[in-house]
Amino acid sequence: MDSGVGLGFPGHGGDAEVILVVDDDRDIVRFVEVNLRLHGFEVMTAHDGEEALTVIEQRRPDLVIVDLMMPTLDGIGLTRRLRADPLMAALPIIMLTARAMTADKVLGLSAGADDYLVKPFDTLELVARVRSTLRRNQEYREVSPLTGLPGNTRILREISDRVQSGCDYAVCYIDVDRFKTVNDAYGFGRGDEFITALARSLHRAVAEAGLPPVFLGHVGGDDFVLVLTPDQVRPVTTRSVELFESAADDLYDPEAAARGYLELTDRRGNVQRANLVTLSIGVALSTARQFDDPREVIAAASEMKSVAKSQPGSFVAIDRRRMDDEPESGGFGDYSTPPHGIPLPRTPSEHGAEL
């Protein structure tokens, strides 16, 4: 499924963009808050990095203004924590510094800040920096409004960076099997909860993978992308499936979860059975083929996702074709079966059907 839909990650429902101001100087916080509100922004506040993380967990802002020097967790530490979190990696950050030192600017930008402001600053400069950073974020660091994860522009840029780096990488294209049956049975609201559960499951699996960091993006709808090393493919996808299937079971009505399938009534009044959701994951490897364009990588991973969908239960199909391989009549050769595929935990109920 390729269409983007809305999803209830912590965020705001109004039209005003939400700015989080983080500074241990309460006079500065008040000055920034008042002036941003006068220019139509909604403002949240925190007085150190740890408090900011708590605020962000409850409600995701559109931009963070953070002071460089703070107790407990300073601006550099907060910025690095946010950049290391796949769900917050694309959140725009403006760093405040009391010193017009080049070293401080470099330190903030190196940690991942998008821009900086040197104290003291006037209202016009503050608002101009906020608006330009938000605009750049929208144009160049597209974020899915559904999950807060990087969207298609960021995904393509991440893959392009890997292609140009010359390092080994893998791209996983992830799709939910029978997601339509969830919407048909429970409505789009419940469907959004399933996508939320998948985003959180992927996020947790990525966090557990450690270093090097795994990139997680949201194509739209129930489609997600991982960019990682070849060695990380098996542990990350296996853990993702385990976490998602457990979370999905809790989202089904208890009766459906217990029997292992959904019962749907069609327009003619006939009751049909559909297996519970699973994941199909297609993997493209740079170690098997040389890619010159990020779209080629996505296409190969998407093709293998189709292979995975031909298998029962959750499945990871890995493309190991070389450039000189001739595809078989079906187009995929033997690449959908072990050792080129990883069958994962849940298997379809014998009472269910592929709807």
Residue 230, SS3? helix
Report pLDDT for 274: 86
Q: Shortest CA distance to 237 belongs to which of 279, 275, 266, 269?
A: 279
Beta bridge partners of 281: 174, 316
Please report where in the chains the tokens 């296409």 appear, as a residue: 299
Q: Are 170 and 233 in contact (CB under 8 A)?
A: yes
Spell out a b/e string for 68-95, using b for 16 or more CB atoms within 10 Å of the CB, else e. Answer: bebeebbbbbbbebbbebbbbbbbbbbb
Parts of the chain belonging to CATH 3.40.50.2300: 18-140
pLDDT of residue 11: 39
Q: How far apart are CA 114 and CA 260, in angstroms?
A: 47
In 3D space, the residue among 352, 163, 157, 144 whose CA is nearest the CA of residue 264 turns out to be 352
Q: Provide CATH 3.30.70.270 ranges for the chain.
A: 152-343
Query: At a CB cut-off of 8 Å and minimum separation 6, what does 331 contact?
Result: 303
pLDDT of residue 348: 52
- The amino acid that residue 186 corresponds to is Y
**Gyration radius (Cα) of the chain, Å:** 23
What per-residue confidence (pLDDT) applies to 346?
62
Which pLDDT belongs to residue 141? 54
- Give pLDDT, residue 248: 93
Q: Hey, CA dihedral for 165, 91, 74, 34, is it positive or negative?
A: positive
pLDDT of residue 331: 35
Confidence (pLDDT) at 199: 95
Q: Where are the alpha helices (DSSP H) in the chain?
A: 26-38, 49-58, 75-84, 102-111, 123-140, 152-165, 179-186, 188-209, 233-251, 254-259, 294-309
Q: What is the mean pLDDT of each run of 10 residues along the chain (355 residues)?
A: 33 70 95 95 96 93 94 92 81 85 75 87 92 78 72 88 92 94 88 93 93 91 94 95 93 88 81 89 92 91 93 89 47 38 57 51
What's the confidence (pLDDT) of residue 285?
94
pLDDT recorded at residue 9:
32
What's the CATH class of domain 18-140?
Answer: alpha beta
Q: Give residue-wise pLDDT tens across range 336-346.
A: 333 345 666 56
The tokens 């144009």 sit on which residue?
139
State in words which class domain 152-343 has.
Answer: alpha beta
